């Protein structure tokens, strides 16, 4: 999944050669080049791990996305302390946790959780079954097997809990399912519109160029934030024409889809503009002129010569775009217009939980942890993009 | 009304000598007599900019008008220690036997900040402008009772006569807060240029030196998004003194920093840039406590002063013609009582408000201790009682998904909508949905855009587009706390039943409406209270609106800021201090 | 060239109308209007709402509303703000100005740091230094701005505890909110200027870090592209010095896309520093914009839109012209 965006761009790299004959070896050359780029390899590795973990969230996460206990409360529970040594023998033991109980600190007014060793040790067990909390992997395989867990009433919170007492680690895993796909999906919306309109405008010029660029200008003249907010509140409204036509009720899945469309719609203008100006410049170059002189058809020149020539730049822009969309989702969530919080979570929503606390985050610093996967995902996408760009470019091969 | 008269007479006797100033009592502050010193600045904050300086067109209150206009020479006022009205700009007043005519005599020592004396004409002008529909003033509605206007005219040289079309409690409030507007400036403008000119006057671009006020401090500088500065109004001290006879206010300057959010204000408070802060949650208090402990700031904190005047509630839709089963269910008070039994108010308090909230049982905010009926039926968290009530309605079996069904196989599934982006509401909805599911009621929470939610809530007709909505209201007055638009069946906030053609659907609604009308006409406070208690009793049984909790208010200020209320009257209605009696300790 | 400019100028009008119309239509599609929220206030009568709706012209069909509004624009009037009952221009002028301060400082910071870094990275491709530059510049890119600002605020408070314990210094290193100190009005003009600059540092830094990664990596990519091209090889073969090749020839060609981008900076100025402004309580465009949007004070929203579209269109024109000047291969016909 992580390598998706590059898959198609491989095929359009080399201008003019029949794809069937060259694409495989071309891909091999690029892969060899890519392998030399250590940072990109690390980034790619991180992405593969992240996508795998979120795909298997139901199995890895000890608790459900919205699972919490009203009594006894586990709200704002700090990351559980895992004990590795037996308290009596002082020897290495099977890792275990204690039951904790809450009381309120007189100064900070926060709940503090104290361990209750007298209630026994609760070892961390692997491959436990939680029949009342079954889940589906990739929406296909139902299971109730969990990678690890502890027996009730103890609970194991690797990254602490939020204000309702939901396990943050589990939420980050489930949230990744939304945050990691949102960029991938939105970029296709943008790419499609940007390539199509930018390519056509740059190539044909004249009236068509005017028309398309005017459309881009119109979209561009509206500040991105405005478009984001207004489109988000419009598309998430079940009364909008699109929702009416498809009978959408704005469940969390449909809201998610709408956020993707919003992000994609806002992002395409810049891409179209970039591609157009590149093509304007390349059009004058010798090989395009030569192809024209040789009587190649206009669409052939466009699809076979001009667009591929923009590929390296497009890839730079796209690799910036995917993490850009991931970030844009956090921004949307920050102002309350992201994916639905009711029965889903995204990293942006988790981050909002942290930013909404303002300075009192000092009492619950573990809420900042969702910043780490965001950081890693955005960074890795960028590294991979960088590596790809270098790999594509014959001039930079080493 | 009798009680007013007694107080008024006593005070009127005490102030027989003319030009006697209004005395701010020592009992309203913790400062010892003579302790207060002059000078200094109070650095306060607000999260929204004033949108106009014009008291007529302001669409809502803002910091500037709150201080400069509302803080000015209203006819009556109230101390923080009691609900009694005290004559303020009025020297005295008399109420006719039937309560329909009130005459007030003005003080003769009040002046505008430019030195011009405040006269009857200033009060008449404000009345004239507010009742002119062309001016489109926000005060317009208040001058009408059952579509009949309140009349105001001059009597004698220094007196005003209010004539009410019918006896009405809310009308007295209108009289009490009636304030002057400068006839020699805005009145002039109005007579020359009409309503249009008046509406256009005193926008935020107007130099503040061209505006005049009667308030303790007058605005002198405004920088949008940054600050509002008020300086002492020297004329105020001529008719306002403390018990020792010192002219008020004590503070030279009152500055309001305009901040983007409460978070930013807290940061400024911790940085020592603000003198006071209202903590929103126990977390804020914790942060302040820690800063105090570390020696960052020297501050006082009042935790859980009182619940605030705001509520979160669930309302079921009684107009669902398209789904008769649900409609029947939502109209059954047993059903709504069962739902109230499924609201875990304790969990909401603990989890959503970190322990700082109070359960709420009727439409009257808990903070209005005088008006609230503590003895109503309370359908607290009790899943078993809920199960029993639902069984009584025929929902006594569970289907394969664990959802209650009736004999005809109808499953008990409800959609509960609330506004997206409001974390607290989303969480309350979720807690309710979770406990309801445990009892076999399938509640699906739906987060909608706020305006869409309001649209649904305020929609009318026999078939309205929602099952249940979780939303909140704020505000309401200190006096007759029953919303004009909520209780009567044709009120636009009579949210559960908005089938205007059908009118009231139950006898209880009808009864509450009649009591409401009667209560408004009852001028005697004690009698009005009795009626209010009765309305709440009906509400509690009927449960047309299921109240959850109302959050608690807290206060904090730097210890150098003095003159706060004695702790027994620090609450969400009167706040933590009288600004006029506030001073800065050296 | 001249016909192109003239044509572009005539272009502006329909683009402008298109943008405002699109924005207007989109905002009309959003349910409710300015008065919807007012209807929830218990003390407001429905008749008052109807009266206000009529007064604001919100009861008219939207094409009529739009027509009236655009006609006012033609006459140089941005309309009235419902919320504040005063001309939109008064509401938006100061926020635009305040945001511009912030954005200008952040652009200066950005260019001052990113250009040398980008060149360095390209010249020393794959060196340790190159890697460090990439990672550091990615850091700013990979953290959402508003989150970064929030973390910095927390850091500033935490630093106070340290400095107090270590040196007895109990002051914040940098301001954590607002544009000015609470005693701003008492300061001398020079101190006022410094006070604002002082308050700008942290948010401007946050905004600059976000652009840093993009800027350096694109500049690096362009530099590499140019450095690998034939004419640089020729220049090198001719025996030109390393510095001359790098700065005079390569850098000049590498910045072509940035010159094209200068036009884009103009509307960037009006876009302001985004959500960072909200976090540090900066009285700029974004807070104004968000508030106007949430209150559906439509003409304030559109007013900001008009100002930014004008800047954008001028910016684009400049970009196109500059591009043609620096890159003779581009022709407009």
Per-residue pLDDT in tens (0 to 9) along chain A, 398 residues: 333 333 333 333 333 444 444 445 666 777 777 787 777 888 899 999 999 999 888 889 888 888 888 778 888 889 988 888 887 888 888 888 888 888 888 888 888 888 888 888 888 889 988 887 778 877 778 888 888 888 888 888 999 998 888 899 999 999 888 888 888 888 888 888 888 888 788 777 788 888 888 788 777 777 777 777 777 777 766 666 677 677 666 666 777 777 788 888 777 877 787 778 777 777 777 766 777 777 777 667 766 766 666 676 777 677 778 888 888 888 888 877 777 666 678 888 888 888 888 888 888 889 889 989 999 998 888 888 878 777 776 655 55
For residue C225, the chain A residue with the least C-alpha distance is A395
Question: Chain B contacts of A110, Cβ < 8 Å?
Answer: 282-283, 286
Question: Do strands B227-232 and A145-149 pair parallel, antiparallel, or not at all (unpaired)?
Answer: unpaired
Question: What phi, psi does A187 have (nearest 5°)?
Answer: -65, -30
pLDDT at B17: 44
- The answer to whether B391 and B420 have CB atoms below 8 angstroms apart is no
Question: Chain A contacts of B266, Cβ < 8 Å?
Answer: 358-359
Angle value at C-alpha B384, between B383 and B389, nearest 5 degrees: 95
C214 CB-contact burial (10 Å; exposed 0-12 / middle 13-18 / buried 19+): buried
Question: Chain A contacts of B354, Cβ < 8 Å?
Answer: 109, 163
CA B378/CA C211 separation, integer angstroms = 58
Extract the tokens encoding B57.
């067109």
| Closest CB from A236, A335, A360 relative to B284 | A360
CA A158/CA A145 separation, integer angstroms = 18
Question: Chain B contacts of C36, Cβ < 8 Å?
Answer: 451, 454-455
Written as one string, the DSSP assignment of B432-444 is HHHHHHHTT-EEE
- The answer to whether A217 and C316 have CB atoms below 8 angstroms apart is yes
Q: Looking at CA atoms only, how far is residue C18 from chain A in angstroms?
A: 6
Tell how far CA B352 is from the center of its chain: 23
> What is the average pLDDT across B31-41?
90
Q: According to the CATH classification, is domain A171-396 in 1.10.340.30? A: no
In the three-class reduction of DSSP (H, G, I as helix; E, B as strand; rest coil), residue C139 is classed as helix
pLDDT at A2: 33
pLDDT at B256: 93
Q: Looking at CA atoms only, how far is residue B16 from chain C in angstroms?
A: 38
- The answer to whether B90 and B83 have CB atoms below 8 angstroms apart is no
Question: Chain A contacts of B270, Cβ < 8 Å?
Answer: 359
| Closest CB from A239, A331, A375 relative to C31 | A239
CA A359/CA A363 separation, integer angstroms = 9
- pLDDT of residue B401 exceeding 90: no
Extract the tokens encoding A297.
């058809």
**B9 band by pLDDT with thresholds 50, 70 and 90:** very low
Higher confidence at residue B213 or residue B196?
B213
Q: Where are the domains of chain B?
A: 22-28+51-199, 208-305+553-584, 310-551
Q: Does the distance separating the beta carbons of A362 and B290 come in below 8 Å?
A: yes
For C42-46, the CB contacts below 8 A with 24+ separation are: C42/B473, C42/B475, C42/B476, C42/B483, C42/B484, C42/B485, C42/B486, C42/B493, C43/B141, C43/B475, C43/B476, C43/B477, C43/B483, C43/B484, C43/B485, C44/B141, C44/B485, C45/B141, C45/B484, C45/B485, C46/B485, C46/B492
Q: To which residue do tokens 């981050």 refer?
A: A351
Chain A and chain B share a number of CB contacts under 8 A equal to: 93
Question: What phi, psi does C118 have (nearest 5°)?
Answer: -65, -45
Q: Does the distance separating the beta carbons of B452 and C32 come in below 8 Å?
A: yes
Task: Mark out chain B residues that contact chain A at CB-CB < 8 A.
Answer: 262-263, 266-267, 270, 281-287, 289-290, 293, 303, 344, 347, 350-352, 354-355, 420-423, 426-427, 429-431, 434-435, 445-449, 452
Question: CB contact, 8 Å: C54 with chain B?
Answer: no
Q: Does the distance separating the beta carbons of B446 and A342 come in below 8 Å?
A: yes
pLDDT at A18: 43
Residue range B310-551, CATH number: 3.10.105.10
C15-29 b/e (C-beta count within 10 Å ≥ 16 → b): bbebbbebbbebbbb
Phi-psi region of A160 (alpha: psi -120 to 50; beta: other; left: phi over 0): left
pLDDT at B250: 94
CA A133/CA A155 separation, integer angstroms = 15
Residue range B208-305+553-584, CATH number: 3.40.190.10
Q: Looking at CA atoms only, how far is residue C168 from chain B in angstroms?
A: 11
pLDDT at A8: 31
pLDDT at A309: 67
Q: Does the distance separating the beta carbons of B351 and A73 come in below 8 Å?
A: yes
Extract the tokens encoding B242.
């403390």
CA B516/CA B494 separation, integer angstroms = 13
> What is the average pLDDT across C92-97?
85
Question: CB contact, 8 Å: C44 with chain B?
Answer: yes
Closest CA to C257 of B567, A276, B127: A276
**B308 band by pLDDT with thresholds 50, 70 and 90:** confident
Q: What is the ipTM of this complex?
A: 0.76
Question: Chain C contacts of B465, Cβ < 8 Å?
Answer: none
- The answer to whether C72 and C78 have CB atoms below 8 angstroms apart is yes
Higher confidence at residue B473 or residue A342?
B473
pLDDT at C327: 65
Extract the tokens encoding B75.
């006819």
Question: CB contact, 8 Å: C125 with chain B?
Answer: no
Extract the tokens encoding A115.
């361990």
Q: Where are the domains of chain A?
A: 62-166, 171-396
Closest CA to C119 of C7, C208, C252, C236: C252
N- to C-terminal Cα distance for chain B? 45
Calculate the average pLDDT of chain C. Answer: 78
Q: Does the distance separating the beta carbons of B289 and A108 come in below 8 Å?
A: yes
CA C191/CA C180 separation, integer angstroms = 11
Q: Which positions ≥6 away from A262 have C-beta within 8 Å?
A: A227, A228, A231, A232, A235, A332
> What is the average pLDDT across B412-416?
91
- The answer to whether B414 and B444 have CB atoms below 8 angstroms apart is yes
> What is the average pLDDT across C25-42?
72
Higher confidence at residue B451 or residue C74?
C74
Phi-psi region of B497 (alpha: psi -120 to 50; beta: other; left: phi over 0): beta
For residue B142, the chain C residue with the least C-alpha distance is C43
- pLDDT of residue B2 exceeding 60: no
Q: Tens of pLDDT along C145-171?
A: 888 888 888 888 888 878 887 877 777
- The answer to whether A306 and A297 have CB atoms below 8 angstroms apart is no
pLDDT at B477: 64
**C293 band by pLDDT with thresholds 50, 70 and 90:** confident
Count of CB atoms within 10 A of residue C1's CB? 10
Q: Does the distance separating the beta carbons of A320 and C131 come in below 8 Å?
A: no
Question: CB contact, 8 Å: C52 with chain B?
Answer: yes
Q: Looking at CA atoms only, how far is residue A179 from chain C in angstroms?
A: 14
Q: Does the distance separating the beta carbons of C15 and A218 come in below 8 Å?
A: yes
pLDDT at B7: 43
Strand partners, B312: B472
Q: Does the distance separating the beta carbons of B263 and A108 come in below 8 Å?
A: no
Q: Does the distance separating the beta carbons of A70 and B434 come in below 8 Å?
A: yes
CA within 13 Å, CB half, B549: 29
Task: Mark out chain A residues that contact chain B at CB-CB < 8 A.
Answer: 66, 70-71, 73, 75, 104-105, 107-110, 163-165, 233, 236-239, 250, 335-337, 340-343, 353, 356-360, 362-363
Q: Does the distance separating the beta carbons of B426 and A233 come in below 8 Å?
A: no
CA A347/CA A180 separation, integer angstroms = 9
Q: Looking at CA atoms only, how far is residue C18 from chain B in angstroms?
A: 27
C238 CB-contact burial (10 Å; exposed 0-12 / middle 13-18 / buried 19+): exposed
The shares of helix, strand and coil residues in chain A, as percent rounded to the nearest 5, are: 60, 10, 30
**B152 band by pLDDT with thresholds 50, 70 and 90:** very high
Q: Does the distance separating the beta carbons of B199 and C85 come in below 8 Å?
A: yes
Handedness of CA A228, A233, A238, A244 (dihedral sign): negative
- The answer to whether B228 and B14 have CB atoms below 8 angstroms apart is no
Name the DSSP letter for residue B247. B
Q: Tens of pLDDT along B251-307?
A: 999 999 988 788 889 988 998 889 999 998 888 898 899 989 888 889 999 998 888
Whether omega before A72 lies within 30 degrees of 0, making that bond cis, reads yes
Q: Does the distance separating the beta carbons of B287 and A363 come in below 8 Å?
A: yes
| Closest CB from C41, C181, C281 relative to B260 | C281
Domain B22-28+51-199 classification at class level: alpha beta
In the three-class reduction of DSSP (H, G, I as helix; E, B as strand; rest coil), residue C273 is classed as coil
Question: Do strands B253-258 and B41-46 pair parallel, antiparallel, or not at all (unpaired)?
Answer: parallel
Q: Does the distance separating the beta carbons of C291 and B224 come in below 8 Å?
A: no
pLDDT at B12: 44
| Closest CB from B205, B259, B483 relative to C177 | B259
Q: Does the distance separating the beta carbons of A75 and B351 come in below 8 Å?
A: yes
Name the DSSP letter for residue B96. -
Q: Which of A155-159, B456-460, C26-30, C232-236 has the highest mean pLDDT?
A: A155-159
Interface test with C, best of B60, B260, B274 (most C CBs within 10 A): B260
Q: Does the distance separating the beta carbons of C312 and A220 come in below 8 Å?
A: yes
């Amino acid at each position: 999944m992580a390598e998706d965006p590059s898959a198609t761009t491989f095929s359009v790299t080399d201008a003019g050669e029949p794809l069937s004959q060259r694409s495989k070896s071309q891909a091999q050359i690029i892969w060899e080049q890519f392998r030399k780029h250590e940072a990109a390899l690390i980034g790619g590795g991180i992405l593969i791990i992240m996508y795998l973990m979120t795909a298997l969230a139901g199995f890895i996460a000890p608790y459900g996305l919205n699972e919490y206990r009203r009594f006894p409360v586990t709200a704002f529970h700090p990351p559980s302390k895992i004990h590795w040594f037996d308290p009596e023998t002082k020897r290495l033991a099977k890792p275990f946790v204690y039951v904790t109980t809450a009381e309120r600190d007189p100064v900070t007014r926060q709940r503090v959780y104290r361990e209750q060793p007298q209630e026994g040790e609760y070892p961390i067990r692997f491959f436990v079954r939680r029949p009342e909390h079954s889940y589906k992997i990739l929406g296909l395989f139902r299971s109730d097997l969990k990678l690890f867990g502890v027996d009730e009433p103890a609970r194991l919170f690797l990254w602490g809990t939020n204000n309702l007492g939901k396990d943050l680690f589990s939420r980050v895993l489930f949230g990744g399912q939304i945050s990691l796909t949102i960029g991938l999906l939105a970029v296709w919306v943008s790419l499609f519109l940007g390539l199509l309109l930018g390519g056509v405008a740059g190539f044909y010029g004249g009236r068509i160029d005017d028309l398309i660029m005017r459309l881009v200008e119109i979209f561009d003249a509206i500040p991105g934030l405005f478009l984001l907010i207004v489109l988000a509140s419009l598309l998430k409204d079940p009364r909008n024409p699109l929702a009416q036509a498809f009978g959408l009720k704005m469940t969390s899945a449909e809201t998610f889809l709408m956020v993707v469309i919003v992000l994609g719609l806002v992002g395409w203008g810049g891409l179209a503009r970039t591609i157009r100006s590149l093509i304007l410049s390349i059009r004058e170059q010798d090989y395009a002129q030569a192809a024209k002189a040789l009587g190649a058809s206009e669409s052939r020149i466009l699809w076979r010569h001009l667009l591929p020539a923009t590929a390296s730049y497009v890839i730079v822009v796209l690799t910036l775009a995917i993490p850009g969309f991931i970030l844009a989702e956090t921004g949307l969530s920050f102002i309350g217009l992201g994916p639905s919080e009711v029965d889903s979570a995204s990293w942006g929503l988790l981050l909002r939980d942290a930013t909404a606390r303002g300075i009192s985050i000092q009492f619950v610093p573990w809420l900042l942890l969702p910043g780490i996967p965001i950081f890693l995902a955005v960074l890795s996408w960028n590294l991979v993009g960088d590596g790809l760009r270098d790999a594509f470019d014959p001039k930079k091969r080493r | 009304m009798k009680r007013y008269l007694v107080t008024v007479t006593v005070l009127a006797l005490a102030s027989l000598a003319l030009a006697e100033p209004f005395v701010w009592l020592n009992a309203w502050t913790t400062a010892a007599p003579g302790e207060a010193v002059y000078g200094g600045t109070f650095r306060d904050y607000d999260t929204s900019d004033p949108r106009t300086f014009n008291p007529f067109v302001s669409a809502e209150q803002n910091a500037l008008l709150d201080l400069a206009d509302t803080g000015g020479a209203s006819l009556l006022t109230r101390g923080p220690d009691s609900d009694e009205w005290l004559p303020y700009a009025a020297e005295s007043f008399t109420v006719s036997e039937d309560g329909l005519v009130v005459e007030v005599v003005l003080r003769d020592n009040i002046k505008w900040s430019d030195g011009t004396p405040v006269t009857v004409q200033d009060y008449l002008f404000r009345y004239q402008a507010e009742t002119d529909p062309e001016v489109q003033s926000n005060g317009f509605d208040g001058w009408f009772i059952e579509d009949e206007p309140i009349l105001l005219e001059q009597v004698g040289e220094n007196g005003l006569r209010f004539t009410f079309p019918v006896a009405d409690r809310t009308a007295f409030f209108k009289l009490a807060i009636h304030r002057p507007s400068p006839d020699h400036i805005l009145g002039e403008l109005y007579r020359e240029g009409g309503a249009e000119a008046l509406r256009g006057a005193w926008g935020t671009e107007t130099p503040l030196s061209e505006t005049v006020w009667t308030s303790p401090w007058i605005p002198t500088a405004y920088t949008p998004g940054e600050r509002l500065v008020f300086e002492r109004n020297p004329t105020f001290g001529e008719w306002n003194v403390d018990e020792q006879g010192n002219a008020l206010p004590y503070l030279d300057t009152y500055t309001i920093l305009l901040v983007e959010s409460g978070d930013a204000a807290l940061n400024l408070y911790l940085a020592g840039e603000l003198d006071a802060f209202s903590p929103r949650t126990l977390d804020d208090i914790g942060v302040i406590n820690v800063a105090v402990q570390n020696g960052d700031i020297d501050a006082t904190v009042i935790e859980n002063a009182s619940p605030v005047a705001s509520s979160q509630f669930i309302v079921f839709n009684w107009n669902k013609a398209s789904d008769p089963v649900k409609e029947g269910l939502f109209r059954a008070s047993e059903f709504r009582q069962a739902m109230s039994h499924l609201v875990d108010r304790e969990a909401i308090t603990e989890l959503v408000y970190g322990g700082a909230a109070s359960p709420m049982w009727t439409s009257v905010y808990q903070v209005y201790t005088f008006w609230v009926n503590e003895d109503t039926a309370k359908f607290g968290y009790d899943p078993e009682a809920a199960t029993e009530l639902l069984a009584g309605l025929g929902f006594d079996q569970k289907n394969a998904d664990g959802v209650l069904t009736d004999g005809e196989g109808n499953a008990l599934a409800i959609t509960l909508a609330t506004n997206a982006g409001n974390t607290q509401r989303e969480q309350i909805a979720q807690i309710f949905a979770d406990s309801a599911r445990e009892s076999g009621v399938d509640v699906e929470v739906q987060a909608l855009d706020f305006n869409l939610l309001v649209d649904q809530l305020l929609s009318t007709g026999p078939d309205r587009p929602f099952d249940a909505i979780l939303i909140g209201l704020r505000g309401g007055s200190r006096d007759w706390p029953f919303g004009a638009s909520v209780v009567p069946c044709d009120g636009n906030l009579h949210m559960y039943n908005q089938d205007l053609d059908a009118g009231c659907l139950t006898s209880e609604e009808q009864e509450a409406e009649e009591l409401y009308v009667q209560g408004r006409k009852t001028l005697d406070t004690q009698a009005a209270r009795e009626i209010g208690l009765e309305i709440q009793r009906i509400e509690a049984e009927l449960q047309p609106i299921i109240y959850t909790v109302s959050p608690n208010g807290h206060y904090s200020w730097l210890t150098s800021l003095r003159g706060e209320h004695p702790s027994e009257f620090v609450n969400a209605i009167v706040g933590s201090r009288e600004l006029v009696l506030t001073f800065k300790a050296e | 060239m001249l016909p192109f400019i003239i044509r572009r100028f005539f272009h502006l009008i329909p683009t402008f109308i298109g943008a405002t119309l699109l924005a207007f239509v989109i905002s009309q599609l959003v349910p409710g209007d300015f008065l919807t929220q007012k209807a929830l206030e218990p003390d407001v009568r429905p008749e008052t709402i109807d009266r206000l709706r009529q007064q604001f012209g919100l009861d008219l069909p939207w094409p009529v509303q739009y027509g009236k509004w655009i006609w006012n624009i033609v006459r140089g009037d941005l309309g009235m703000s419902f919320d504040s009952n005063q001309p939109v221009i008064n509401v938006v002028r100061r926020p635009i100005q305040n945001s511009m301060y912030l954005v200008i400082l952040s652009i200066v910071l950005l260019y001052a740091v990113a250009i040398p870094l980008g060149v360095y990275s390209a010249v020393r491709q794959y060196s340790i230094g190159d890697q460090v530059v990439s990672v550091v510049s990615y850091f700013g890119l990979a953290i959402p701005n508003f989150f970064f600002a929030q973390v910095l605020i927390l850091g500033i408070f935490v630093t106070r505890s340290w400095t107090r314990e270590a040196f007895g210094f109990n002051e914040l290193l940098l301001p954590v909110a607002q544009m000015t100190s609470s005693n701003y009005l008492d300061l001398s003009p020079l101190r006022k200027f410094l006070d604002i600059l002082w308050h700008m540092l942290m948010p401007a830094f946050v905004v600059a870090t976000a652009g840093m990664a993009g800027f350096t990596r694109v500049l690096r990519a362009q530099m590499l592209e140019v450095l690998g091209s034939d004419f640089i090889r020729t220049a090198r073969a001719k025996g030109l010095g390393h510095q001359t090749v790098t700065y005079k020839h390569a850098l000049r060609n590498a910045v072509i896309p940035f010159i094209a981008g200068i036009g884009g900076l103009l509307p960037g100025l009006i876009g302001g520093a985004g959500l960072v402004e909200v976090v540090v309580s900066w009285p700029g465009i974004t807070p104004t914009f968000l508030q106007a949007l949430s209150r559906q004070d439509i003409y304030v929203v559109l007013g900001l839109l008009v100002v930014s579209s004008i800047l954008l269109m001028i910016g684009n024109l400049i970009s196109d012209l500059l591009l043609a000047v620096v890159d003779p291969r581009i022709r407009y016909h």
